[in-house]
Structures are given as C-alpha cells and as structure tokens.
Amino acid sequence: MKNVVLGVTGSIAAYKAAEITSRLTKNDHAVHVILTAAAQKFITPLTLQTLAKRQVYTGMFDEPVCGELRHISLAQQADLLLIAPATANFIGKIASGIADDMLTTVVMAAAGKPVLICPAMNTAMLENPITTGNIEKLKAHGCLFVEPREAHLACGDLGRGALAGTDAILQATEQYLK
C-alpha cells in the first residue's frame, strides 16, 4: 500500500477528486485528502472522507494529535503528493515558496518527495506568462505535471485548461508510485 496525499484546490473540477479518491482507494492506496478553503466551496470533506475511509484535512490546526505536527507527518509518510485540480493561485503560491495553509505547508515540508500537479483553469489564466513561468519553475524543481486538456470550460470558452481526464491522472499516479 502506498500513501498518496491528494491536495484539492478551489476549481470547479474539484468534484473529480471524488472519483480520483475512490479509484485510488480501490487500488489499495491510502489516500490522505487535504482540501483548501476554496475547494470546500465545491466539494465537502464528508464526501472525500467517506471515499478515502480516513480523515480529510482542511486547516492547519484541525484536531491536533498530541506530539505530532500533522503537516510534517503527512509530508514524511507521503509516497506521492497529487494535486488535482491545481489552480493558478496554488501553482503561484508553491512556486513562490508560500506556505500559508495546510496544503501549501505539506508541499513545502515534502522536499524530495514526488509532486504530481494537475492544472485546471481558464485558458487565458493557463497561458498567462506568470502562470507558464511558475509551471516552468516548478518543473525545474522536479515537480511533475499531467497536462490539462482542451474542452469546453466552466466559463463557456473552448480551450486548453480543463483538468486532465481521471484515467490520465490515475495512470500518471500509478506510474510514479512504481
């Protein structure tokens, strides 16, 4: 059994985290879900807790375990950090070294661990030179990416930026867990 920390950020594609969690759990992986505050506007902790069969983390100071720094222990036990979906905001934060919530703090504490990022955003946001620069910076630091696909986006535009398909995300996840 491998430990996957699944980070879910505030994108309309957050609902796909349910299927990702379910399928990883069925593949005998321990899935430790972290929801950002914005992600909780799209999907509830209860949904993912039920599918993962374990606690979902939403804040830095959720029910601390005596003697344990949860962001450090999650980072240490992770075989892979999977961020699906990853917004432009989240990508910018970690590219800048900002650790101001549970998910960004776990990523910063997971130095040397594989981080698989699955972007999801509007095409203009994805193609913004700031975002492309942040992605290149993260790639240079060893982060892995599952490229977004072209589709009709939530805003009604047709373009690149939709979260990669669940099968593609799971295939990449299994590849990096081997």
Burial 111-145 (b: 16+ CB within 10 A, else e): eebbbbbbbbbbbebbeeeebeebbeebeeeebbb
> Residue 34: exposed, middle, or buried by beta-carbon count in 10 A (0-12, 13-18, 19+)?
buried
Q: Which of 66, 118, 143, 155 is catalytic?
A: 155
Task: Give the Cα separation of 117 and 120 in Å (integer).
Answer: 10
Name the helix (H) or strand (E) containing 10.
Answer: none
Q: Are 170 and 23 in contact (CB under 8 A)?
A: yes
| 66 in catalytic set | no
Task: Give the Cα separation of 1 and 79 in Å (integer).
Answer: 10
User: Looking at the annotation, which residues are catalytic?
Assistant: 155
